[in-house]
Amino acid sequence: MKKLDVLLMVLSCLFPIAGVMKQFPLTLSLVVGGLLFFISLGSYFAKQTNWRVFSWIAYAVFITFLLLLRNPYITTSFLLENMKISACIAIIPFLFRFRTYAITIGLLGLWAFLLWDVKQVGSLEALQHIMYVTTSEQIYLLPFGIGFLFGGWLGHITKPSPKREKERKPNKPKQKKQRKGWNITIPIPRLPKFGVKVSKSRRYESPAQQTTRSHDSKQEENMEQYRSAEEKQDIETEFIHEETRETRMGRRKKKANM
């Protein structure tokens, strides 16, 4: 249905084109084309967003267009009066949540007859027939009225009932509102903390330095072992010398006794 509104917006541009081509009064073509454009625009946004404000705008402009068809001689004061009257009347569909299907299908039927006349005549001058709908071209009211009633019936059928909406929505348990308590915090002054960070630096040693270091440590171990071995040998030699001295002294004493 929204695509039909876009189609009607495109068709409404034919009136300014006819006015530029001097096949329709220029000011009248701009007013009629602008009204039809805003009717379709409001209907499109009403279907897109489901906001009643756009449906109210669509019905207000639509009623202004219907009041304009009674008098083709447009003046600014006449147009403003019609806009005020239509805005008041459009409050009724706003309160009862009327959908814009009736406007879309009604204008679609009206455009079907207009385009058929344009094809028969072969020029856009046939668009002037729309200004004589209430007088000599009352046949246009037939498709317009039938389309309007059919669109209203279709909108009533497709309108979701509140009971169905309640059935679709799951019954969620009501959550209790938690009241937010007032937390008052008093800042207590504290002494500043001083921290000294000790940077741990690690020396990087190349593989050559590591090998020399291991070689030095091995040499030190060998030297310690050599020293310990020498000390043992010294102790053993001293012990042997003492034993030899004792044996010699013993022999001398024996000889003296004899």
Question: CA–CA separation, 124 vs 23, rounded Å?
Answer: 6
- Given a cut of 90, is residue 37 above it in pLDDT? yes
Q: In this structure, are residues 140 and 113 in contact, taking their beta carbons and an 8 Å threshold? A: yes
Residue 89 DSSP one-character state: H
| SS3 label, residue 41 | helix
pLDDT at residue 187, as a whole number: 55
- Given a cut of 60, is residue 100 above it in pLDDT? yes
Residue carrying the six token digits 């969620």: 172
Residue 90 DSSP one-character state: T
- What does the domain layout of the chain look like in residue ranges? 2-163, 208-258
Question: CA–CA separation, 58 vs 77, rounded Å?
Answer: 21
pLDDT tens for residues 204-256? Answer: 555 666 666 666 667 777 777 777 777 777 777 776 766 676 666 666 666 66
Question: CA–CA separation, 229 vs 135, rounded Å?
Answer: 140
Q: Torsions phi, psi of 39, nearest 5? A: -65, -50
Mean pLDDT of the chain: 77
Residue carrying the six token digits 């004899």: 258
Average pLDDT over residues 1-10: 87
pLDDT at residue 201, as a whole number: 47
Token pair listed for 2: 């929204």
Helix H or strand E encompassing 214: helix 207-257
Residue type, 13: C
CB count, 10 Å around CB of 79? 14
pLDDT tens for residues 129-173? Answer: 888 787 777 888 888 888 888 888 887 787 665 555 455 554 555
- Given a cut of 70, is residue 33 above it in pLDDT? yes
